[in-house]
Amino acid sequence: MSKGSAGYSSSSHKSSLKGSSKVYMWYCDNCSNGPYLVANNDYCPNCHHQRCSYCVVERAPSTRR
């Protein structure tokens, strides 16, 4: 006797979050170091300058397959 596998219609559970995987990089305007991840570094690891409006923020090119 085989165990009756439940005929579960697997609905594709896709999360339609737009722009969820955007990666932003920033360059310190104080010491011109970088790029740093915006999500990881609020402060410049090099000179401890806090990211401000003068710091250059760029969107990292998304790796699409």
Residue ranges in contact with Zn ion by CB under 5 A: 28-31, 33, 44, 46-47, 49, 52, 54-55
Do 58 and 35 form a contact (C-beta atoms < 8 A)?
Answer: yes
Torsion sign across C-alpha atoms 48, 51, 55, 56:
positive
* Choice between 25 and 46, CB closer to Zn ion: 46
* Shortest Å distance, C-beta 39 to Zn ion: 17
* Choice between 22 and 43, CB closer to Zn ion: 43
* Choice between 50 and 59, CB closer to Zn ion: 50
| Order of all β-strands in the sheet with 24-27 | 36-37, 24-27, 56-59
